[in-house]
Amino acid sequence: MSNETIVEILTILKKEYPKWQAPIVTYIKNSQGTPYKIMISTLLSLRTQDKTTAEATKRLFEKAQTPEEMLLLKEKEIEKLIYPVGFYKTKARRILEVSRVLINQYKSIVPSDLDELLKFPGVGRKTANLVVTLGFGKPGICVDTHVHRISNRFGYVRTKTPEETEFALRKKLPPEWWIEYNDILVAFGQTICKPISPFCSTCPIGHFCPKTGVAKSR
């Protein structure tokens, strides 16, 4: 698939995007979310449905919105606030660790540099890229399972892991689409281009898609 085609696809999907529910981290960003809140909400969202993440972040941020406020909470209290997000006990511990590192090493200021963010406990490339793009508006490409899957389904990349997809997209995707790419494809993947039996009959860009790996569709 050429860059001209992917731009045409993304232009169409961007027009359709308001009909779909934005990813939870984008919602938090649009609700005056700080880089710290985006970082924490992204950690909570890993392997967790958006609805569950939204409820958990609401409860947590009602109690603490800064690293200093977070460290006033006990680990068990955070566990109760964020339950039932996936791996809630590990994430409660990570939230406190991240908050402590921010205070002790960064004067409570979330860094905007990808390599610095990757030094934090529990922060992988997906989280770091989301903080860079949504927290600071800097170029980055966040790749989750939806972005990885759909990019390959399009035939735009041929990769085996989300990390491989990120680096392939950095080489190929036009820079003006970097920040929006995750939002558009996540919303598209949650509503139309589902992992199993996607809604190809109503897909707005179905005529472009080779449907790589699709065995059954609706």
What pTM was computed for the model? 0.85
Same domain membership, residue 121 and residue 155: no
Reading the chain (218 residues) residue by residue, the pLDDT tens digits are: 889 999 999 999 999 988 887 666 666 665 567 999 999 998 998 888 888 988 999 999 999 999 999 999 999 999 999 999 999 999 999 999 999 999 999 999 999 999 999 999 999 998 999 899 988 999 999 998 899 999 999 999 999 999 999 999 999 999 999 999 998 999 999 899 999 999 999 999 999 999 998 989 99
Given phi > 0 = left and psi -120 to 50 = alpha, else beta, which region is 213? left
Q: What is the CATH number of the domain that holds 65?
A: 1.10.340.30
For residue 87, give its domain range: 24-136
Structure tokens at 205: 């860009």
Residue 121 lies in a domain: yes
- Write the CB contacts of 210 (distance below 8 Å, at least 6 apart in sequence): 1, 153, 154, 155
Question: Are residues 7 and 52 located together in one domain of the fold?
Answer: no
| Domain termination site, one of 99, 116, 136 | 136
- Give me the count of residues in the chain: 218
What's the rounded Cα separation, in Å, for the pair 195 and 10?
Answer: 19
